[in-house]
Amino acid sequence: MSLTSPNRGYPLERLDGNTGSMAYWSNLFTRVADRLGDLRTAAHAAHDLPGVGRSVTAVRTDANDLAGALPGDIAEAQLLAGVLQRYADAFDAHAKPANDLIDDIEAAHAEWSRLDIAADHAGRAAMAAAYGDDQSEIDDTNDAVTEAIGVRDAAKDALDELWTQYERFYGDWDAAYAAALSELAGGTGAVLTNEARDLLADLLAATSPEEVARLWAENPELQQELIDNHPAVVGNLDGVPWDVRATVNAARLEELLETEPEGPHRDELAAVWRALTTGAVPKPNLISFDPDGAEQVTAALAYGDLSTASEINTLVPGMNGNVDDLFSWGQSAQALNLRVGEGSATVVWFGYDTPDLLEEPAMSRAEDGAAALRSYLLAVRALSPDADVNVIAHSYGSTTAALAIGSQADGLGVTSFIAVGSAGFPKDPTVVENLSNGGPPQLYATISEDDAVARVGRGTAPGHPVSPERLPGATVFDSDGGVDARGESLPAATGHDALGPGAYLEPGSESFYNVGEIIMTGQPGTERGGEGSTQGFWDAGNWWISDEYALIDF
């Protein structure tokens, strides 16, 4: 079984080492250093030999040369002895406990996988039942999903705790290993100097992007060393300036494409490169890029200058989204910047593994994605404290964004949260309260009369059945066709898609028009049910059910 830790990407591998052998060699090098010290003492003594003449002068010269050469050898022997002993101690303290956890993690992962499959089966059964008319079967299958997800999530919590322990031990061992290499390199540049290594440790231990930004700014002399030695870290560390990350990530992507063989992974990398280099003027910035830290290649492209923007917009994709769609999402981002005008910058954020149809009823993808989105949004606030921050999320992306933004009472500094075709918000009292308490962010939502997918998604998902359109304080806007301020017709969203004709974020559509108006003025630009509005299959009488959270919207 080949596993990697969820947060730091450490491989689940047995760390090899023999502390007894390392201690032996450490003692041996210590003895060598002592013997060389004795030799140096003798050389000094020879240098002080009394007398005159050619022979005495030659001995003094040789003794002087030897005494001058020995300190380097003594220091090297002492270095080897110290490094070996320190690494041996670290191996005992960290690597051995990490090794002891491997069997437990593999067993816990197998159990969670089994329960995850069971939860998926229960979800498929619930989704199938939702299309029928048997309310009893719908209730029973929803109850079965809830129970299956609860058992699975408990197993996931147990697995996560084991992974947390493993990452702590593995990380401490890895740091000790890196420190040993750094000491042996002697500051040659092959690995980090002590100062840069300490800064890297502080950056990784930072509790917020704001702290990362401060540490980075306070150590300009060490920045290039970190970039050269750890580009993957620098390029994805929230709080590092966007332009630094963009340069590092673009270089990494270009290097990977030079060596990556044909196949699905290369196709994803090529899709990111195409979005990065084609069409847009100026070119977007690749502000995050992780080619192998998740099941999908993840990336985020920023269109416009985040460092000077007064409106920072973030597009969050939903179910079945991946970087193959980056170019199309980028076109929507550019159109949004044009719509909003000067000072607008828009990020296309593919920073998480989006779910497929079978995974959509569950919350696991949203939980993983919310952590990454939360960190990104905190970085936006840390680096652009005066900008308005707008999140536009589609489908399951709104589930992920709601979990991230609603995790804190201040909404992570988000100004406007705009949900289009939402798959439902999490049924979490804290999240619901934070998104409907009247404070920032202001919540906006739309769902097309012809969007059955979002409604079925809410109705078959015990973890995210909350309808954003029904939350207190939410501003609901139309996406079913209307007219703009000049009286020109705006096409309707005719399904669940985010992009393309009849989609929510298609430039020129009513939904897209209203998103732009919300960002600029704080209010939608068309009247609910006004001129040009059409009525689809899921009309108000069919789906606008009133209950506490509108848990089922159809």
Rounded distance between C-alpha atoms, residue 520 and residue 343, angstroms: 11
Helices (H), 306-350: 326-340
467: left (phi over 0), alpha (psi -120 to 50) or beta: beta
Say how far apart CA 545 and CA 14 lie, in whole Å. Answer: 55
Cβ within 8 Å of residue 478, ≥6 positions away: 446, 510, 511, 514, 524, 526, 527, 528, 529, 530, 533
Handedness of CA 152, 154, 156, 159 (dihedral sign): negative
| Gap between the Cα atoms of 416 and 390, Å rounded | 5
Beta bridge partners of 344: 311
Task: Find out whether 543 and 363 touch, Cβ atoms under 8 Å.
Answer: no
Domains of the chain, first to last: 19-191 (1.20.1270), 238-543 (3.40.50.1820)
Give 529's strand partners. Answer: none
Task: Quote the pLDDT of residue 546.
Answer: 34
Q: pLDDT under 70 in the chain at which residues?
A: 1-2, 37, 40, 42-73, 75, 181-192, 293-294, 532-554
Q: Which residue has the tokens 């031990």?
A: 169
Q: What are 67-81's pLDDT values in tens digits?
A: 555 665 676 777 777
Q: Give backbone dihedrals phi and psi of 346, rounded to 5 degrees, phi first.
A: -125, 130
Q: Which tokens hold the place of 25? A: 């060699």
Give the separation between CA 288 and CA 247, rounded to whole angstroms. 10
Per-residue confidence (pLDDT) for residue 298, from 0 to 100: 93
How far apart are the C-alpha atoms of 466 and 198, rounded to whole Å? 46
* C-alpha distances in Å from residue 8, one per residue of 164, 165, 293, 294, 350: 10, 12, 8, 11, 19
Q: pTM of this prediction?
A: 0.66
